[in-house]
């Protein structure tokens, strides 16, 4: 057998060791490792759709948009905060630390975390097989898995830092896997995030709510804000942004048509990063 993976068996919780084309636990449960290098750890009884998660179109749209650098300020702040957490844990380079990016998508933020903390064990998972396939194909050397945030294939108290950027919040699972004293970084949209986009989509655009929320097992540490403005030059770029937002699912035909016909527009972008420490 080769080195152990950071993930555990979703069926029995045993440690997973990597062989050439599979991951194997001590109980004999075996999981295929895809050509791109990721492992599928979402049991059939946890799959609530034939192909859970984002579609191919949404994955490709998000990849193009993020790689164009529109959200680079958000990745930079996430990495700064992760490095600050690692320093508080006594390991500025991340040596000896395990980081997990929950709902990692195509790995844009996961790869940033690995660059910021090169000596840490960084991994990511997402419920979308298509997203994980893209992440593993592009970011070699980072372990990725297909899995759900509500059944994370990680052992109890095995993670020093867990990040969640616009992905489902599974507070009980997050509290289970983060070590006491470890950190949870949660990115949420600011009040006027993508307000310019909403002005095109909706007759009555609305601001996002501002919430101060405590989560069992965690202590709130700080909130930092990143604000900016981006210009979307054409309908294709606007469509890529649209496809990676929840508005994609709840916008009427007229709003989508208006966006498609737009020649270019500016919009505010705003992330709030909430830092929590495990009690």
pLDDT at 19: 86
104 is in an annotated binding site: no
Distance CA(168)–CA(198), nearest Å, equals 22
Q: Give every strand in the sheet of 15-18, ordered side by side.
A: 4-8, 15-18, 22-24, 30-32
137 is in an annotated binding site: no
**Contact criterion met (CB below 8 Å) for 148 and 123:** no
Please report, for residues 19, 77, 228, 267, the alpha-carbon distance to residue 192 in angstroms, rounded to integers and kept in the order given. Answer: 48, 18, 10, 9
**Contact criterion met (CB below 8 Å) for 115 and 95:** no
Is 201 in a helix, a strand, or coil?
Answer: helix
139 is in an annotated binding site: no
Q: Which residues are within 8 A (CB) of 246 and not within 5 positions of it... i.e. 6 or more apart? A: none
**What is the separation of C-alpha 143 from the centre of its chain, rounded to a whole number of angstroms?**
14
Residues of the chain below pLDDT 50: 1-3
**Contact criterion met (CB below 8 Å) for 239 and 260:** yes
Is 153 in a helix, a strand, or coil?
Answer: coil
Q: Which residues are within 8 A (CB) of 7 and not within 5 positions of it... i.e. 6 or more apart? A: 16, 23, 39, 41, 123, 125, 143, 145, 147, 153, 154
Per-state percent for the chain, helix, strand, coil, to nearest 5: 30, 30, 40
pLDDT at 245: 92
Q: Which ranges of 178-264 would DSSP assign to H, the alpha helix?
A: 195-201, 235-243, 247-250, 253-261
106 is in an annotated binding site: yes
Distance CA(21)–CA(37), nearest Å, equals 9
Integer-rounded Cα Rg, in Å, for the chain is 19
**Contact criterion met (CB below 8 Å) for 257 and 222:** no
38 is in an annotated binding site: no
Q: Which residues are within 8 A (CB) of 260 and not within 5 positions of it... i.e. 6 or more apart? A: 235, 238, 239
pLDDT at 3: 47
261 is in an annotated binding site: no
40 is in an annotated binding site: no
71 is in an annotated binding site: yes
Distance CA(180)–CA(176), nearest Å, equals 10
């Amino acid at each position: 057998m080769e080195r152990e993976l950071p993930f555990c068996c979703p069926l029995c919780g045993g440690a997973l060791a990597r062989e050439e084309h599979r991951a194997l636990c001590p109980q004999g449960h075996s999981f295929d490792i895809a050509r791109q290098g990721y492992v599928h750890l979402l049991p059939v009884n946890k799959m609530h759709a034939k192909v859970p998660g984002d579609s191919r179109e949404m994955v490709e749209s998000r990849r193009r948009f993020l790689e164009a650098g529109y959200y680079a300020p958000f990745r930079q702040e996430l990495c700064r905060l992760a490095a600050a957490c690692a320093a508080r844990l006594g390991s500025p380079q991340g040596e000896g630390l395990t980081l997990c990016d929950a709902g990692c998508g195509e790995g844009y933020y996961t790869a940033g975390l690995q660059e910021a903390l090169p000596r840490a064990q960084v991994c990511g998972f997402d419920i979308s097989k298509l997203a994980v396939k893209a992440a593993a194909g592009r970011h070699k050397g980072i372990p990725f898995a297909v899995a759900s945030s509500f059944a994370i294939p990680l052992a109890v108290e095995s993670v020093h830092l867990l990040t969640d950027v616009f992905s489902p919040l599974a507070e009980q699972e997050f509290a289970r896997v983060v070590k006491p004293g470890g950190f949870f970084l949660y990115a949420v949209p600011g009040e006027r995030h993508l307000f310019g986009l909403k002005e095109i989509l909706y007759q009555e655009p609305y601001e996002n709510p501002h919430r101060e929320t405590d989560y069992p097992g965690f202590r709130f540490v700080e909130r930092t804000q990143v604000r900016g403005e981006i210009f979307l030059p054409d309908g294709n770029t606007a469509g890529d942004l649209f496809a990676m937002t929840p508005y994609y699912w709840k916008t009427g035909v007229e709003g989508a048509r208006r966006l498609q016909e737009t020649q270019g527009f500016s919009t505010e972008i705003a992330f709030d990063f909430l830092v929590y420490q495990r009690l």
